Chain A
Amino acid sequence: DAKTTQPNSMESNEEEPVHLPCNHSTISGTDYIHWYRQLPSQGPEYVIHGLTSNVNNRMASLAIAEDRKSSTLILHRATLRDAAVYYCILRDGGSGGSNYKLTFGKGTLLTVNP
């Protein structure tokens, strides 16, 4: 799996937007960009994914650069419950059903201040 680079930590204030960046300069054409997060003492949780176009869901938005070498996870209004480690993960969409594992790198620890 291609590597991703994220800042070690970021800080935000409650009810403000948060932009979490991810660099993936070696991304291949078949790689999907996934975001998971892990709240303290819990298992990882799916947030969002995309391939080329920007994506929105109830949790967040994903903005993908035109060259796909970077992406940004956007939390529109951070809450205390959003404090977690956020992982940007590339998953090969061309390897078939036997290669759906998640390869976690060093994610970003998001701190939300009240």
Chain B
Amino acid sequence: AAGVIQSPRHLIKEKRETATLKCYPIPRHDTVYWYQQGPGQDPQFLISFYEKMQSDKGSIPDRFSAQQFSDYHSELNMSSLELGDSALYFCASSYPSGSSYNEQFFGPGTRLTVL
């Protein structure tokens, strides 16, 4: 079965540089979530999109922005990178059917290292 695709899988950037992470949800899934997991930490919700509109926002720095495109893929743009942004970034997708129990399917993650 098709899974959530994230690219790139690994990314190395210098401080103050910009990074773009991409997420391709499972076909027919129209909701995308972004999570950040720092070293030894638990995943933390960043932002979500439903039908190309931002639906919820968590502890996402102002330096980060995201959007969902017409084909439902999503991109997380990170500017002025800091050492503390080094983390695993997970994308998840789900198909909302009007209830809150739809499971989220997670991608393999993008490991971002800021030097």
Contact = CB atoms under 8 A, between A and B. Distances in A.
Q: Is B truly associated with A?
A: yes
Interface of A: 32, 34, 38, 42-46, 49, 51, 85, 87, 91-95, 97-107
B17 interface: no
Contacts of A91: 100-101
A2 to B, nearest CB: 13
A98 B107 CA distance: 21
Contacts of B105: 46
A102 B104 contact: yes
A41 to B, nearest CB: 8
B48 A100 contact: yes
Given A42-B108, A43-B92, A46-B105, A102 B45 contact: yes
B38 interface: no
Interface in B43-66: 43-45, 48, 50, 55-56, 58
